[in-house]
Amino acid sequence: MSFRSMFQDVREAMDHVHLSGSLKEKTLENLEKYVVKDPRIPLLLSRMKDAGKVFLATNSDYNYTNAIMTYLFDFREGDGEGPPPPPWRSCFDLIVVDTRKPLFFAQGTVLRQVNTDTGKLRIGTYTGPLQHCAVYSGGSSDLVCDLLGVKGKDILYIGDHIFGDILKSKKRQGWRTFLVVPELAKELHVWTEKSELFEELRSLDVFLAELYQDLDSGSSERPDISSIKKRIQAVTHEMDMCYGKMGSLFRCGSRQTLFANQLMRYADLYAASFINFLYYPFSYLFRAPPTLMPHESTVEHTPRLELSVEGSLTGPQLQKQIPSSLCQETNYTAEDNHH
């Protein structure tokens, strides 16, 4: 069995459970098993709503979306006898279902309004102004910008699909992007526990370079590097096995995967959960750490801080300190600054 045939089988199975609706049926039958509830979700969304405009764009139909969101917002204070939570639709300025992403980021489809009592679509194309707590079906990313009165660069789009959400919204609309990668929590744990393996790989690379340090194009000597190559292969394999049978989502030994490269290119931010935003002010300036190209990494850079006359610290490396618990899960990848 080849990797191609395995991929095709898995792909066809995933397409079948999505298109047939069986995946959603099983999910709705046991929400407690398949849907993770977090009491911080309503709090974060309400704060985001107070600070700006919030919209929801999903490929799911209204009935499924309503069931999931109602379950996520079903939190009562105290012993459960408190007042019912606010309706989930009140946390959004715009709700769009049946978006058919990634087509949504191109020409899109006809925008129609949803009857929230029946879940059916109203007759005709919707062309009116944005209505509070109304639900729409179809449309496009251009229509979202028009209804909200914003430009693409003013939107921070949060999604969990590198192609359907992040890549398309960035390339076609220029939206700011936030990729949710749940596997990141495990990746960070392994990276922390097995960091010595990566350091050994770096040491082997340095040792390999030193063997050729005094040689040039006129040298006939050929250093024996067979043992070093075997050790590099062994350490790389050991690193891969630490992540389980499927390996790391981000690395193959010391090299980044295609997913990691796409993430670094198209995602402005990424984290294991968008709940991390709860611990940042909405005016926070996210900055990506400076990255060096291979030729720049050959020059040693020493951070320098200077004390000004007023007694304050200045210098290019001075940055606002972030709690380490947050640094471990929220990552910045773009070259731009983000508010």
What pLDDT shows up at residue 76?
Answer: 66
Residue 331 C-beta-side C-alpha neighbours within 13 Å: 16
Neighbours of 80 (CB within 10 A): 7
Q: So what's the pLDDT on residue 290? A: 82
Q: Which of 8, 71, 78 lies closest to 34 in space, CA to CA?
A: 71
The topology (CATH level 3) of 3-180 is Rossmann fold (3.40.50)
- Using DSSP's 3-state secondary structure scheme, residue 90 falls into helix
* CA distances (Å), origin 337, targets 6, 158, 333: 41, 17, 10
Q: How many whole angstroms separate alpha carbon 89 and alpha carbon 46?
A: 11
The answer to whether the beta carbons of residues 183 and 257 sit under 8 Å apart is no
pLDDT at position 141: 95
The residue assigned the tokens 């398949």 is 34
Residue 293: per-residue pLDDT: 86
Q: Within its chain, how far is the Cα of 225 from the centroid?
A: 40
What does pTM read for this prediction? 0.81
Mean pLDDT by 10 residues, the chain (339 residues): 93 92 94 93 93 95 96 72 78 96 94 93 89 92 94 94 94 94 92 89 90 88 91 89 86 86 94 95 88 81 56 42 42 50
Nearest to 94 by CA among 114, 76, 119, 67: 114
- pLDDT confidence of residue 301: 63
Query: What is the DSSP annotation of 146-201?
Result: HHHT--GGG-EEEES-IIIIIIHHHHHH--EEEEE-TTHHHHHHHHHHTHHHHHHH
Q: Which two tokens stand for residue 156?
A: 């921070």
Q: What gap in Å lies between CA 279 and CA 269, rounded to an integer?
A: 15
pLDDT of residue 265: 93
- Residues with Cβ within 8 Å of 285's Cβ and at least 6 positions away in sequence, in order, are 337, 338, 339
Domain extent listing, the chain? 3-180, 184-213+222-248
**Measured distance CA(275)–CA(291) in Å, rounded:** 27
Instruction: Determine the pLDDT at residue 59.
Output: 94
